Amino acid sequence: MSEILYIDTGEYKEREAVFNEADAGKRLDAALAEQFPDLSRNRIQILIEGNCVKPPGLTKNTKVKAGEKVVLLVNEREKLTAAPEDIPIKVVYEDEDVIVVDKERGMVVHPAKGNTTGTLVNALLWHKEQDNGDGLRPGIVHRIDKNTSGLLVVTKNDEAHAALAAQFADHSITRRYMAIVIGGFSEDVGMIDAPLGRDPKNRLRQAMRHDGKRAVTHWRVIERLKGYTFMELTLETGRTHQIRAHMAMIGHPVLGDDLYGAARGPAANEGQYLHAIELGFDHPKTGERLRFESPLPRYFTEMLDKLH
């Protein structure tokens, strides 16, 4: 049976509300629902409880004042339909609020044009049925690309979804990757701070744009190989294709990345050598800091052996 899912687009928009005399004394959730009629009161309550409101510390029961300004951070969503499919997945952690998956290379995260089946969401819906319907309604708060392997977290309810979306928005999530890139580095560590936006010459790519979104990647050399570098990259922000675009921008594209010009040599037509090795976040209900690691997959270690 197909289900309707709401998937984050990865876009977060600030909506500003300024209250007048007629609003004074109303509960915050009610006042915001009047300001933003396209958002349900329930969704506004979930966003407030998920700390997606400024100034911080406000609750749904806060009484608003005339002249007061409140900003609501809204994670933009799109509606998708997906059906359960019997696809094996590696579950690293699961409770009633979140599920952490170690995604294989080659799997798309959620249904979209051109990929309506065989996705991680289809697999998670099947996982739900096998666990006697534990209430899982997959909420995708972040993605990793089809040919990137490794860890990602999926939420099971709206409250967890809002809380994790807020953590991604304020960049408190830990996301560390391992990559093999083309070329060598004279330095051992570095940082790339360059805003990214859609490439006007190729809408599938991201490129540095002065009007783009702030994007910061920290890198560290793990091992220098002949013509290549094995490295660790940590995201301070989490933009689409951030590591792939940043590394290509500085002349060291990720090995095997056909979109950014590195599908050549020993990795032609294989996909990029990029693995999400660490994921850390605060549990949306308990606040406990959770941290997970994924070992380098076989395809990655075999390429390292070949380059050695």
Q: Which of 145, 158, 188, 257 is catalytic?
A: 145
Q: What's the distance, CA 96 to chain centroid? A: 20
Which of 119, 151, 166 minimizes the C-alpha distance to 138? 119
SS3 22: coil
What string of H, E and C letters represents the secondary structure of 104-156? CCCCCCCCECCECCCCHHHHHHHHHHHCCCCCCCCEECCCCCCCCEEEEEEEC
Which SS3 state, helix, strand or coil, does residue 231 take?
strand
In angstroms, rounded to a whole number, what is the distance separating the alpha carbons of residues 28 and 16?
A: 13
Q: Mapping DSSP to helix (H, G, I), strand (E, B) and coil, where does residue 53 land?
A: strand
**What Rg value do the Cα atoms of the chain yield, rounded?**
21
Cα–chain-centroid distance for residue 192?
19
DSSP one-letter code for 297: P
Residue 86, Cβ neighbours under 10 Å: how many? 10
Q: Give the residue carrying structure tokens 């050695």.
A: 308
8 catalytically annotated: no
Would you please indicate which residues are annotated as catalytic (active-site) residues? Answer: 145
